[in-house]
Structure 1
Amino acid sequence: MKEKISKTNVARLLDKAKVKYELIPYDVDENDLSAIHVAESLGEDIEQVFKTLVLHGEKSGYFVCVIPGEHEIDLKLAAKVSGNKKCDLIPMKELLPLTGYIRGGCSPIGMKKHFPTYIHDSCNDFPYIYVSAGIRGLQIRLAPQDLIKESRAEICTLF
């Protein structure tokens, strides 16, 4: 018998929008919250497992970037696409109060408030990608176009 996975807020928002997705659990390693660990746990290509980063620009304020898990964001490119001269990742202590999510469980869908969102253009290379379902240990598998639509994201180059 299949174990019932409880729905997260992200899943409820996708249900409401009638978006097709799959909830995929994985084993959490508290010492390794990296997307690389998640991809290995899922047995998936790391290029299809995307991480959600929250940044702050000096002009635009907060914004979100979603990139394949093994890559580092190029802060100059992120600043440029978001209309800033410079930007930085937010301090970890700001993540939960700002988004409602913790590190390793941050999803581009369902944050406390919507922030401008940018997704790396490689997402369109795949029929489906993974992003966090809003908690550690659970990923959402969905079509990149659905993620783009639901997170009201712009496609761009971020590394």
Structure 2
Amino acid sequence: MAKSTPAVVALQRAGVSFTLHTYEYDPGDQRVGLQAAEALGVNPAEVFKTLMALVDGKPVCAIAPSDHEIHLKRLAAAAGGKAAKMMPPADAERTTGYRIGGISPFGQKRAVPVFLDETALAFPLIFLNGGQRGLQVRLAPQDIVRVLGATPVALV
């Protein structure tokens, strides 16, 4: 597994302290974040998933705990819009440059507004996709806010 993804490079360039964690990715499992938590033996509330959505037709990135679903109305309100829907997988891949199951908020092809569920700030460190299926980065949630300009908000 390559560990030098655009996400890893972006984190290094930003001077973020992080650790890499790999696990055996199961392409048949639809719950990637929960699969990662189980494989890594960590609390699912500390493993966050990266979701790509459209708010009033414009792309946004939502980061939420893997053991919860986001409320699209909350995401729309946070982004100053009226309606939100999940981005079709092919569009998410084109927008980010990553494959589904390996989407990271860092190192995306195109910068979009990022919204981080506020529960992340309760943890000193969280896990997040590292830009490849089966690769997680563990970092301080404050670094997500600082580097991506992410807005902490209640999404779940």
Q: Provide the TM-score with structure 1 as the length reference.
A: 0.93
Partner AA of 2:119 in structure 1: S
Which of 23, 33, 43 is the matching residue for 1:45?
43
What percentage of residue pairs aligned between the two structures are identical? Answer: 34
CA–CA distance in structure 2, aligned partners of residues 6 and 36 of structure 1 = 21
Paired amino acid for 1:94: D
Aligned position for 1:64: 61
What is the root-mean-square deviation in Å for CA atoms of aligned residues?
Answer: 1.3
Is the contact made by 2:48 and 2:126 (CA closer than 8 Å) also made in structure 1? yes
Corresponding residue SS for 2:103:
coil
1:6 Cα deviation after fit: 2.8
CA contact (8 A) 2:6 2:108 kept: no
Residue 132 of structure 2: which of 128, 131, 135 is its match?
135
Residue 3 of structure 2 is matched in structure 1 by: 6
3-state SS, counterpart of residue 32 of structure 1: coil
User: Which of 1 and 2 has greater Rg?
Assistant: 1
Give unpaired runs (5+ residues) of structure 1: none
Aligned AA (1:42): L
What is the CA–CA distance in structure 1 between the aligned matches of 2:67 and 2:153, rounded to whole Å? 17
How far is 1:154 from its partner?
0.4
Structure 2 runs not aligned, ≥5 long: none
Check conservation: 2:64, 2:116, Cα contact below 8 A.
yes
1:152 equivalent in structure 2: 149
Indicate whether 1:104 and 2:101 are aligned.
yes
Q: SS state of the match for residue 12, structure 1?
A: helix
In 1, Cα distance between the equivalents of 2:52 and 2:148? 13
Alignment length (residue pairs)? 155
Q: Shift of residue 150 of structure 1? A: 1.5
Q: Deviations over 1:80-115 (max 9, x none)?
A: 101111110011121111110111100011111110
Deviations 1:1-52 (A, max 9, x none): xxx9632111111111111000100111111142111100011110010001
Q: For 1:90 and 1:17, how far apart are their aligned partners in 2?
A: 28
Mapped to 1, the partners of 2:89 and 2:64 lie a distance apart of 18
1:57-93 CA deviation, whole Å, 9 max, x = no partner? 116x111110000111101111110111111001112
Q: Which range moves more in the overlay, 95-104 or 114-123?
A: 95-104
Q: Which amino acid aligns with 2:107?
A: G
Q: Are 1:81 and 2:83 counterparts? A: no
Residue 39 of structure 1: SS of its match in structure 2? helix
Moved over 4 A (4+): none
Alpha-carbon distance in 1 for matches of 2:106, 2:3? 17
Amino acid at match of 1:116: P
Confirm whether residue 23 of structure 1 aligns to residue 31 of structure 2: no
Per-residue deviation at 1:128? Answer: 0.3
